[in-house]
Structure 1
Amino acid sequence: MTQPFDSRVGAYALIIRDEQLLLTHWNPRHPGFEGAWTLPGGGMEPGEQPAETMVREVFEETGFRVDSDGLVDVHSYWMTPEQRLDGQDRGNHACRVIYTAHVTGGEMAVEQDGSSDDVAWIPLAEVGSTPRLDLVDQALRLAGLSDRLGAVRTPTERIAEQDVATEPGRGGDR
């Protein structure tokens, strides 16, 4: 018998320009977790297609308008109840659709009142020493770009992006 669990589909952008990777700083404002750098992107809205989600989320989190260059892959991530930040007592299956994209317009801007509190172009050679979520490494691996992380490797945060409320114990289900 299968135990109940939540699921979340999100779409993310792998954007490289001038040997730099566009990252956002994911900060769920949760005690005990300072946040980490990740790909711009997030959860799908009802009726939205994954590519539309990616474009919308990149704009919301970075201020840049982007076009998709194509699907990289889909990465599945299972979170145990203990890994969740929202206090739910069931697992969560995150399905992360990853695209490559390029900037077509806009100006860099930090998301206001969202789960991201910074945005930056990080040199690819420094990504390996940047505190980051596992999604960054997975996307680079799936795109065949793992070798561009740089020589110094810090471990990734073993937690997936998730919709969380700012108060522990309250789920942020989408």
Structure 2
Amino acid sequence: MTMITLVRGDITEQHVDAVVNAANSSLLGGGGVDGAIHRKGGPEILSACRDLRASHYGKGLPTGKAVATTAGNLPARWVIHTVGPRFLPDEDRSDLLASCYRESLKVADELGARTVAFPAVSAGIYGWPMEDAARIAVETVRGTETRAEEVRFVLFDERAYEVFADQLR
């Protein structure tokens, strides 16, 4: 049984096997969690992402998919990059958001990762309402078969932490 934990803090400081990056499809860095992971992880992550773009993902990583790279200078072994959907009020894209969690856990299992840290995918600049993002994240992780022993949601602020805590209750 996978243990789900919550941490209020910085995802780039998590001592886990795999950190999940809420990446953009270019895989070349950006703002929010993505920018922080690339900055703190250093140039090895960007280099690995460029290699992915040159081989399998010439057009970028599709929304809802996941792929792993080195973690560079982070205190993790790997970074699993996943591209969350932008929130559109007139279109239900929750299946794509759920896919980010399922696909990331699948990649974690392929890597042999036992501890995985997730941010609140799509709940930042992609505009997904935090309550719904937390519901989808928790339900999907609970419903996904994985060999990970711990899935940790790392939330940057108190409000996000409380919303995720409500979902776990």
TM-score (norm 2): 0.30
Structure number with bigger Rg = 1
The structure richer in strand per residue is 1
